[in-house]
Structure 1
């Protein structure tokens, strides 16, 4: 699951971008200014930053510089109304990975975000295989003991996180951060419910184990 921070000072546009990306199965947070963006970046790990260059107070250029200087793996897509070649060269020179001018086609934004998301972290293995479960991140397929398992997007993302942990315990908080976004209620039972439906779909014998007071694992 790719986690994105949208930084845009026009609330309607920020919400529209965020909602559209959520419909594409991304986990999305929103910041309306540079200060809020830096605060969220200091707390959360983001794969992609969709960054308006023209922000009040702390400008997008400064947010970009802070992220680049931190050495974070976060990839940066700058958004701006400035369409001149010199502006694009300047933005990329700050360390941004891509540059998109307003107005833009949403399909192009999604394609660019997907491309940056693939570059944000170390490549996934072509197939994750554990305890008789085979998950293909590229084809988005899951099989158990040769049987195809149909999962929802959240169930697939949760299973992927558990398999990537290679037997380690993953806390509910970590799953909330990776599979959902900051809008989810931290006291929600959504992780427990999703684990229950995932277990049911994977069938017997159960492979997702609960470690009381700690989290979940596939040993």
Structure 2
């Protein structure tokens, strides 16, 4: 049987909410998806400070093993040098495209050696609630992504930005098609992130949100990060 991840999700529309089982067979991470060139360069620069080489082109599409997708409230990560990134996600479920939220958790120690390897090393937590893309496209640029981390015993804002700074879902899907890919049934794709306030850094806990101020609703998830000792 091909690799897949199955979980129960809440699909929320203006008319109400309905639970359904989701089967994800492929995970794609859209990288360097900034629409705002200045903000994109800021993200490239902040990663360069920790040794990450700039991308060959933008955007780029990375594949990670579908088994890395997680809805758990705790993940394990090698060592203590990984960190989360809040992103909007797109999911094709039963022929309809849905929007959700996830964290492109990445190993920052390995990232300077190769982004694809660094992404593959970490689980990718996602929230289990989704909205129809067609319900939010009309006010897409008003949506926000936000994350919090735990520092010195307190929760602090780590990221806070509008999705207006990122390539829109339709444009991102068009870019994916140019690369020969498609958001087929059972494919989930991460759509990009915003810069970290105070720089990229690890945290034992990561909380992330996708906020829709027009329809007054929020998708949220949080998870703890348990370090796995590095030995040898």
Structure 1 length-normalised TM: 0.28
Higher relative contact order (CA 8 A, sep 6+): 2
Q: Which has the larger strand fraction? A: 2
What is the TM-score normalised by the length of structure 2? 0.27
Structure whose alpha-carbon radius of gyration is higher: 1
